[in-house]
Amino acid sequence: MNVQQNQAIGSNPGRTRLHNRRLVLEHVRAQQPVGRAQIARATRLSTQAVSNIIAELEGEGWLHETGRASNGRGLPAVLYALKASGAAALGVEVRPDAVLAALVDLIGKTRFTDRVELQSTDPAHVAEVVNQLKIEALSKSGIAARRLLGVGVVMPGPFGQVGLSDAGQSALPGWHGVDAQALFADTLKVPVVLEHDSIAAALAERVGGVAKELGTYCFIYFGTGVGLGVMNNGYMIRGAFGNAGELGHVVVQPGGNACACGNRGCLETYISRFSVQQHLQRHGIDIHSGDDLQVLFDQRQPALMHWLNEATTPLSHAIGILENLMDPATIIIGGAFPDDLFDYWIDKMVLPPGTLAERPDRHIARVMRGASGRMSATYGGAALIINDVFTPRIAAEAS
Amino acid sequence: MNVQQNQAIGSNPGRTRLHNRRLVLEHVRAQQPVGRAQIARATRLSTQAVSNIIAELEGEGWLHETGRASNGRGLPAVLYALKASGAAALGVEVRPDAVLAALVDLIGKTRFTDRVELQSTDPAHVAEVVNQLKIEALSKSGIAARRLLGVGVVMPGPFGQVGLSDAGQSALPGWHGVDAQALFADTLKVPVVLEHDSIAAALAERVGGVAKELGTYCFIYFGTGVGLGVMNNGYMIRGAFGNAGELGHVVVQPGGNACACGNRGCLETYISRFSVQQHLQRHGIDIHSGDDLQVLFDQRQPALMHWLNEATTPLSHAIGILENLMDPATIIIGGAFPDDLFDYWIDKMVLPPGTLAERPDRHIARVMRGASGRMSATYGGAALIINDVFTPRIAAEAS
DNA sequence: TTTATTAACTCAATTAAGTTGAATATTCAA
DNA sequence: TTGAATATTCAACTTAATTGAGTTAATAAA
């Protein structure tokens, strides 16, 4: 985890060029297909500067020409778009029972996915499993090794020692005190970024989901617990110690359900996978996967439907808190549940009245479902890497 | 209000230099007195680049030499510090009943304050009052007009049309649809920034208060209602529409006190100035100012003490939400109440257990009182301007 | 059909600002 | 007294931006 944020540093010609390259790539991503002159206006660079950068990017295979503009007077612009195969990133999600992997290309398309059950969570073993996945992903997808920008590893947070006493519940056995970033980087021999699931899942929506055109939004991630990823103007909010987004332990009902963390009324006790498992167990139903939930939902199983309906209130409450505190363009929900459940919630939920989000000029929904499905966090790992090449900044790399 | 965020744009030599200048100033501010070589290491610029920038800044009166370093081997570094009179900014807080003004210099010191009662909130009249305050501030403080960087105007939020139906409660009569930024800029003939109180107050702590060395923190501002300012890595979080930080209408007690906004259990119904006024009124006590509160507190007046003690629970709850969502280095409370009340709360309040903020490596308090007192928002207006010159970025100016 | 206008793009020259490396000054430690 | 360490300055050098003139290709007007 990057506890230290990207710290602003001094600029020089080299860093300026890198910043401008990223900025041009970001504009192509968001506006494609697009011509040089339009990029120049948007970035406030000269057309000459954009031309030079476009030539460089095209030479390196990031972009390709896709035709010419047709409308209007004057010389039609040569249009450029991202070249899907220009780069790729591997997202890896390490869970206590399995490792998930997804290879995602520059335009956010999935080129390969796999899942490997874990016999042991021993760090060296996990690192080797991930390494094999990397090799397999490259060979099966036909993407050249030099096009792999890096690997984004998503592990259960929070990172570091914090007061959440159930940290052990989600943490991986045998990883306490292990420098996971260094371990993976040494084994994989490519750049490695470590992040927790909710931030990664939020980024996945920007790289290949419903937030492609949004800079400021929240993502409520349903994993084992409930996490939050906040994107502000294109940059993730990580907090002073890198653990921002612990939505699951926000108290939504003082004096409510007892939570493993010792408090009462935590959001997680109402709307997490753990809570639905417990609820169904009390009704004699054991579920082990998202597929089980899908089956129950297809049957409109009464216990599940009851839980779903009850859950809308705390979820709506949490949405109200986020709308008032963060003023996001939208709130995206996604993660480990089947899409149908999220859709049901969005359809049935009464959104909190009287929040900042009720704007007459609103043109996108207050709440929407993420497009990345149950592998949100895995895709998010890749998105961490992909997003990086589109994020202009003059900053030291996180150590 | 800057609805549009600072948008990243392309860099060129001029923008690079501006970025580097701000970066150098920021390092001097945070580390002063400090030598060129140290700044160069911290900014990853060459000492030559830093030397050039320092010479420029010194020539323009932003910095001055303060002696030489004494420790260690080698040539002692020439130390530099901010020159207080190098620049100043005027903070203006427009309330329904009065206009407050504070002239703050580069090192965050107050050079002048005044308060003018308003006979009318008519925009043209208010602008003229502010203009007179500006003229008076400059003449009485002896600061040259060309040193005035700008005026930061703080008005009650939220800005724009939002669902908070009590917006009318805090908004100024006669200002609906008025482009306040343009009005003040036209009248004052200097750069004008408009912001809402909580964001401004949060910045005040960074420019001249307890957050001088912090980049990521939250500020809970007690005005008429309760607002929030979140600083992330040195940048304010404004949200997609510029209204982030509506803490007062976060529901902390579902089904609790009825709020003017139509919901129940809003934080504002427990811990705002409005709520204490109502509570005391029910006990036959009318208060009209912070001084009245101070007097009652000095007497340990039972009704006030009861309210204070009851208020710790929702306040603690709000702190828990912020700690879990934002993972701040600290949470600062401040605003319209007397300092003694905040100190009492900090002393008596039971902080929420089991949050991210309980770290063994924590070295500053989880909650602290702001240093700007009851004029937080006014100073904050000035801080908006001052902070700007210390914030490195390659970005278009907010329109 | 011809001509003017508009817009996108390229080339060559210029310029701003950062870096590099050698030289110099000052202090501490052996 | 001498050598190592550190801060600073000076004079090239380098990168990558901008500027302005010129080219190309489309639409609009004559």
pLDDT tens, residue by residue, A69-120 = 887 888 999 999 999 999 999 999 998 889 999 999 999 999 999 999 999 8
Which range has highest mean pLDDT (A36-45, B3-12, B173-182)? A36-45
pLDDT bin (cut points 50, 70, 90) of residue B399 is very low
Q: Do B122 and B138 sit in the same domain of this protein?
A: yes
The nucleotide lying nearest A75 (C-alpha to C1') is D25
pLDDT at position A53: 97
Q: Which of A82, A101, A127 is the last residue of a domain?
A: A82
Contact yes or no for A222/A341 (Cβ under 8 A): no
> Based on the number of CB atoms within 10 Å of its own CB, is A186 exposed (0-12), middle (13-18) or buried (19 or more)?
exposed
pLDDT at position B114: 96
pLDDT at A251 over 70: yes
**Considering chain A, what percentage of its residues have pLDDT values greater than 70?**
94
- Closest residue in A to B215 (Cα) is A240
Q: Would residue B155 count as lying in a domain?
A: yes
| Three-class DSSP category at A60 | coil
pLDDT at position A106: 94
Q: Tens digits of per-residue pLDDT, B119-173?
A: 988 999 999 999 999 999 999 999 999 999 999 999 876 565 454 444 444 567 7
User: What gap in Å lies between CA A362 and CA A359, rounded to an integer?
Assistant: 5
User: What gap in Å lies between CA B162 and CA B142, rounded to an integer?
Assistant: 43
Q: Do B291 and B365 sit in the same domain of this protein?
A: yes
Q: Is the CB of A76 under 7 A from strand D?
A: yes
pLDDT bin (cut points 50, 70, 90) of residue B367 is very high
pLDDT at A306 over 50: yes
CB atoms near residue A56 (< 10 Å): 14
Alpha helices in A90-212 (DSSP H): 123-141, 167-170, 180-188, 197-208
pLDDT at position B6: 67
**Structural domains of chain B, count:** 3
B381: which DSSP letter? H
A266: which DSSP letter? B
pLDDT at B32 over 80: yes
Alpha-carbon Rg of chain B, whole angstroms?
A: 22
Domain enclosing residue A69, as ranges: 13-82
pLDDT bin (cut points 50, 70, 90) of residue A173 is confident
Preceding peptide of B353 cis, ω within 30°: no
> Based on the number of CB atoms within 10 Å of its own CB, is B397 exposed (0-12), middle (13-18) or buried (19 or more)?
exposed
Q: Which of B21, B31, B14, B87 is nearest to B54 (CA)?
A: B21
Alpha-carbon Rg of chain A, whole angstroms?
A: 22
User: What gap in Å lies between CA A308 and CA A147, rounded to an integer?
Assistant: 43
pLDDT bin (cut points 50, 70, 90) of residue A326 is very high
Does the distance separating the beta carbons of A163 and B216 come in below 8 Å? no
pLDDT at position B385: 96
Decide which of A335 and B359 is more confident: A335
Q: Tens digits of per-residue pLDDT, A257-294?
A: 888 877 888 999 999 888 999 999 999 999 988 889 99
User: What gap in Å lies between CA B227 and CA B280, rounded to an integer?
Assistant: 22
Q: Do A75 and A146 sit in the same domain of this protein?
A: no
pLDDT at position B101: 97
pLDDT at position A3: 43
pLDDT at B40 over 90: yes
Q: Is the CB of B303 under 7 A from strand D?
A: no
Q: Are strands A367-369 and A331-335 parallel, antiparallel or unpaired?
A: parallel
Tokens found for residue B299: 């007497």
pLDDT mean over A54-73: 91
The nucleotide lying nearest B77 (C-alpha to C1') is D7
Q: Do B133 and B265 sit in the same domain of this protein?
A: no
Q: Would residue A398 count as lying in a domain?
A: no
Q: Which of B26, B55, B82 is the last residue of a domain?
A: B82
Contact yes or no for A100/A119 (Cβ under 8 A): no
pLDDT mean over A231-238: 91
Q: Do A99 and A190 sit in the same domain of this protein?
A: yes
Q: Would residue B8 count as lying in a domain?
A: no
Q: Would residue B1 count as lying in a domain?
A: no
Contact yes or no for B152/B88 (Cβ under 8 A): no
Range 58-117, chain B: CB under 7 Å to any strand C atom: 68, 70, 72-76
How high does pLDDT run on average in chain A?
Answer: 90
User: What gap in Å lies between CA B267 and CA B314, rounded to an integer?
Assistant: 7
CATH of the domain at B357: 3.30.420.40
The verdict on A23 touching B (C-beta cutoff 8 Å) is yes
Residue B224 CA, nucleotide D29 C1', distance (Å): 64
pLDDT at position B4: 46
pLDDT mean over B235-240: 91
pLDDT at position A399: 43
Task: Write out chain A residues lying below 8 Å of B243, CB-based.
Answer: 327, 356
User: What gap in Å lies between CA A270 and CA A259, rounded to an integer?
Assistant: 10
Q: Would residue B59 count as lying in a domain?
A: yes
Does the distance separating the beta carbons of A327 and B242 come in below 8 Å? yes
Q: Would residue B320 count as lying in a domain?
A: yes
Q: Would residue B152 count as lying in a domain?
A: yes
Q: Tens digits of per-residue pLDDT, B73-98?
A: 889 999 999 999 999 999 999 988 89
User: What gap in Å lies between CA A281 and CA A284, rounded to an integer?
Assistant: 5
Q: Which of A5, A6, A1, A268 is nearest to A159 (CA)?
A: A1
pLDDT at position B281: 93
Q: Which of B82, B112, B129 is the last residue of a domain?
A: B82
Q: Do A152 and A193 sit in the same domain of this protein?
A: yes
Q: Which of B178, B8, B15 is nearest to B94 (CA)?
A: B178
Q: Would residue B29 count as lying in a domain?
A: yes
Q: Which of residues 348-387 of B touch A (CB under 8 A)?
A: 352-361
Q: Tens digits of per-residue pLDDT, B246-288?
A: 999 998 888 888 888 778 889 999 998 889 999 999 999 999 8
- Beta bridge mates, B100: B93, B115
Place of tokens 């030079």: A52
Whole-angstrom CA distances from B90 to B134, B185, B232 are 7, 13, 24
User: What gap in Å lies between CA A137 and CA A241, rounded to an integer?
Assistant: 33
CB atoms near residue B360 (< 10 Å): 8
pLDDT at A164 over 90: no
Q: Do B310 and B337 sit in the same domain of this protein?
A: yes
pLDDT at position A35: 95
Beta strands in A245-382 (DSSP E): 331-335, 367-369
User: What gap in Å lies between CA A304 and CA A182, rounded to an integer?
Assistant: 43
pLDDT at position B2: 38
How high does pLDDT run on average in chain B?
Answer: 90
Range 374-393, chain A: CB under 7 Å to any strand C atom: none
| Residue A170 one-letter amino acid | S
pLDDT mean over A370-394: 93
Which residues fall within 8 angstroms of residue B246, CB to CB, at 6 or more apart?
A324, A325, A327, A355, A356, B157, B158, B164, B227, B228
Q: Do A223 and A254 sit in the same domain of this protein?
A: yes
pLDDT bin (cut points 50, 70, 90) of residue B5 is low
CATH of the domain at A78: 1.10.10.10
**pTM (predicted TM-score):** 0.91
CB atoms near residue A253 (< 10 Å): 18
Q: Do B271 and B364 sit in the same domain of this protein?
A: yes
Alpha helices in B142-244 (DSSP H): 167-170, 180-188, 197-208
Decide which of B70 and A32 is more confident: A32
Preceding peptide of A158 cis, ω within 30°: yes
| Three-class DSSP category at B372 | coil
pLDDT at position B1: 40
B195: which DSSP letter? E
pLDDT at A170 over 90: no
- Torsion angles phi and psi, residue B152, rounded to 5: -105, 115
Tokens found for residue B18: 């501006």
pLDDT at position A171: 67
pLDDT at position B158: 57
Q: Tens digits of per-residue pLDDT, B328-361?
A: 999 999 998 999 999 999 999 999 876 777 777 7
Q: Do A186 and A241 sit in the same domain of this protein?
A: no
The nucleotide lying nearest A16 (C-alpha to C1') is D16
| Three-class DSSP category at A35 | strand
Q: Do B256 and B358 sit in the same domain of this protein?
A: yes
Contact yes or no for A386/A89 (Cβ under 8 A): yes
Q: Do B252 and B348 sit in the same domain of this protein?
A: yes
Beta strands in chain B (DSSP E): 34-35, 63-68, 78-82, 88-94, 98-105, 110-117, 148-155, 192-196, 217-222, 226-232, 235-236, 331-335, 367-369
Which residues fall within 8 angstroms of residue B48, CB to CB, at 6 or more apart?
none
| Three-class DSSP category at A43 | helix
